[in-house]
Amino acid sequence: MSINSMIFITAFLPVVFVLDRLCIRNIKLKNILLLLASLVFYAWGEPVYIVLLLISVLLNYGIGLLMGRLLDKHATGSENSAAQPTSASQPKSGYQPNSAAQPLAARLVLAAGILCNLGILGYYKYFNFLLRILNRLLHQEFEMRDIPLPIGISFFTFGAIAYLFDLYRGHYKAEKNLVDLALYMAFFPKISVGPIARYKDFGVQLKSRTETLEKTSEGIRRFCYGLGKKMLLANIIGSCVDKIYGQDINNVTGLMVWCAALLYTLQIYYDFSGFSDMAVGLGKMFGFDICENFNYPYLSGSIQEFWRRWHISLSSWFRDYLYIPLGGNRRGKIRTYLNLAAVFLATGLWHGATTAFVVWGLLHGFFMIVERLGFKKILDRTKVLKYGYTLVIVNFGWVIFRVANLGPSLQYIKRMLMPWKYTTGTFALQELISNRCIVMAIAGVLGAGLIQTLIKKVPALEKLKGGVAEMLYCMLIVAASMLLLVNGTYNPAIYLNF
């Protein structure tokens, strides 16, 4: 099931929402209801992999309890040893659970937990990728396996690792309520396409949260906007992108490739941010505040800024659980650059087990390093340069990302760099790009931050938010989106494959 499908919008969501409200203020009963609903949601399309999700929940629950006992035991011992100061004038120095002096046993348990989670993810996502590498290195012909990728495995696995890591750091005690931990990992608005929520933010809300009329209405509006982003912008624009990339590469002109690249830049943003908006909106409808995942990334003036605005939950995850543990920028410039390269290598691999995704990640990492070397200062001298540079790099990256095959993607980029050499094609451009796509693309450009910036500067427009006009606008969005769903134009999320 998907949160933009007819069955979800017309049946699943209304039923779960009403049942949730009938639970009144019994938070434990609400959590049980939402967990059962989340398991049904996940099992709807992949009943077999519900077992994998439950195994992951039980595994992390058990590892968390074990680590919690070790940390509590160490904390008690530290407090007892600190209870006898050397002189009356010295204050007691109790144990700090988030200090670096954690017991070796807890570190080993953390390492085991991370390896188990990565092992599950690695088997389903990277087994054949590693097998292909071995075949090339050893000149063997190991047989590939048909291993379908479970929905949301990257998202709930990274969420589980964050839970264990922050538990080890002492941000909270181990979760003893299995239902609460399971709901954190399986909550249906975010399990399939994110965002990657942190337990230190989400766990508190499992114990206490409020469901107000204002929060619910805000959540409904947010869901409507997200649905419109996906159905009216991403899907319509994406249909034309598919037509261009569906042509034989020898029949594609340089102008067509540029159009496809720019349109895909809009498609992937509205597809992914649309699902993130729907997740945030659904969370608010059930009393949760889910972390934001986008902040108008195409307004960025550098690759550094782009990754502070794009897929925020993933970039911050890699910062906190890979970049900083590797040393961050605290061990000299060379080490900082190596750490950045490692982070973006991992970012590429997270998105897909192909050399194309690795190159896409390293491309962004390379320009992050170049900007740190001093290019950022040059960019800041003129807005035209910094915004133009960022748009070009991001666009070239999206070509590699969309094609997902390094050889052909480089051929497309070659046509972009030398469009005058490729001017003839089988179809005219207007045969591949519809008028409806052009209208939606213009709306997409304006909606990627330009309109929002204007609204903030005009108080009269800001006052329309939450009023009757916006309510009617949201109703129109939902009606148009539902019409497209009824006509069979449903498309799954791009990030559903990651």
- Count other C-beta atoms under 10 Å from residue 477's C-beta: 19
Whether 351 sits among the annotated catalytic residues: the reply is yes
Alpha carbon distances (Å) from 427 to 209, 233, 241, 250, 409:
56, 24, 14, 12, 20
Catalytic residue among 74, 171, 311, 351: 351
C-alpha span between 113 and 359 (Å, rounded): 29
Q: Angle at which helices 383-403 and 406-417 pack, to 10 degrees?
A: 140
For the chain, the distance separating the N- and C-terminal CA atoms, rounded to the nearest angstrom, is 16
Structure tokens at 83: 């209870």
Query: Which amino acid is present at 182?
Result: A
What are φ and ψ of residue 489, in 5° steps? -100, 25
In contact, 44 and 33? CB cutoff 8 Å: no
In contact, 401 and 357? CB cutoff 8 Å: yes
Which of 484, 375, 398 has the alpha carbon at shortest distance from 440? 484
Active site residues: 351
